[in-house]
Structure formats: C-alpha cells, structure tokens
Amino acid sequence: MKFLCVDCDRQMTFEERQLPGDGTLAAAFRCPKCGRVIALLTNPMETQLVASLGVKIGGRTLHEQPLETVRTMVATGRDDAFTDDRHRTTDNVPGWSAGAQERLSRVPNFVRGMVKRIYADYAKERGIAEITPAVMDVARSELGLEGM
C-alpha cells in the first residue's frame, strides 16, 4: 500500500506508526515535496486487511493473513494510484516560486498541507500559474488568513 500526493505526483513516505495492541493502527505518511501529511487510522478489522496486504510499516512487515479476496480487490482497484508515473499531467496545478516554497516551509508541519492547498486553490481559481510571496500576501488578506 502506497500513498501518492496528487499535487506533486510523489509517493508519500512513511512517517510514524502506532500499534497500541488493541488492534488499531495509526500511520502517517508525508509528501517529501510539499510536506502534506495524511494519517491512516484503522480499526481492528481494517488492521487485519492492511496486514493481509503484507504492508511494511515502520520497518516491519506485518504477518500476512488470509484475506485473499479483499487483497485481490484492493490490488486491482486502481493500478495507477500506486505508481510513480512521471508522465501524468498536472494541468492547472499552480507552481511555487522559491520564495513561496521557503515561506511555506516555515508553516508548522501539521497545517502545512492544508495551508498549501488553500493557496493552491486560490491560485487555481484565479488562473495564477505561479504562487509567489506576493500572491500569498494578497490571498492571505483576501481570505482572512492572517498568520498563515
């Protein structure tokens, strides 16, 4: 199981994991390019599903379990979602200038993905091809996002 950052077309890297022992599992994955983080939280049954996929989490492969049907279903669901295809189009996705990326890097980790999305949506709606610190300033005052 892999997670792909749609904006960056990059495979997200595993960040942290908790296996409290009651069968629940929490895992976080981060986009190495934009810093977006997603978390996977599963109940005991879903944890078994993840385990059945032989997913390597936190440097350890969970033992495979007999959920063959589900595994096949998941594995054939969206082939392209799990590949790192450099040729996929990223039409209408605004770019980030070096200055804007630098500013974004100062946003706290846990909200950076959300903040980036807000600016990206703002730029996209207005047909802005590249997000710069100036664009961020305008967006911030227009959207009332002081502090972001």
CB of 34 to Zn ion, least distance (A): 3
Q: Which of residues 3-42 bind Zn ion (CB under 5 A)?
A: 5, 7-8, 31, 33-34, 36
Residue 145 sits in the site that holds Zn ion (CB under 5 A)? no
CB of 8 to Zn ion, least distance (A): 3
Number of alpha helices (DSSP H) and beta strands (DSSP E) in the chain: 5, 9
CA distance 57 to 15: 9
Which residue lies nearer to Zn ion by CB, 68 or 130? 130
Residue 131 has φ and ψ, to the nearest 5°, of -85, 125
CB of 101 to Zn ion, least distance (A): 12
CA separation, residue 66 to residues 47, 112, 141 (Å) = 13, 39, 54
Contacting residues toward Zn ion, per CB under 5 A = 5, 7-8, 31, 33-34, 36
